[in-house]
Amino acid sequence: MRPGMSEWNKVRLEQWGVAVMGILAYVLALYAEGVYRLVKDASAFGGAGIFVVFMVGMFTKFGSATSAVVSLAVGASVWLVARCGFDFEFSYLLGLVTAFGSYVVVVLNPGSDRREPLVALGASDPSCKDAS
């Protein structure tokens, strides 16, 4: 979300996100080959990007918020195309590799903003208030 976005616009964006994800879940459920496959697909959909962002973010200081978002989007998109478009058996592995590759490419891109660190849930964010 953009900084300075009004609360009304944030709510509207979130409502659209829920609607789009609901439609996507419905379409996936229509073509599912069973409950096991549906649960497997649901856990794999964003899993590749999340795994990459989590592992890199937990164990290194390599990357930025932009590289994390790109990795999440690329991992989910590649998995979706490989699984639903081509019925590729190793779609999760392909999504994992491309999510990691896109993370690295964004970080090493000379135009990327390296001053924007990947921060864990608002830590050292000036908008977070001190609880003490």
- Domain layout of the chain by residue ranges: 1-30, 34-118
Digit-coded pLDDT (tens) for 24-60: 888 877 877 888 888 887 778 778 888 888 888 888 8
What predicted TM-score, i.e. pTM, was given to this entire model? 0.62
Digit-coded pLDDT (tens) for 78-132: 888 888 788 778 888 888 899 889 888 888 887 765 555 555 444 454 554 544 4
Contact 48, 83 (CB under 8 A): no
CA–CA distance, 8 with 18 (Å, rounded to integer): 15
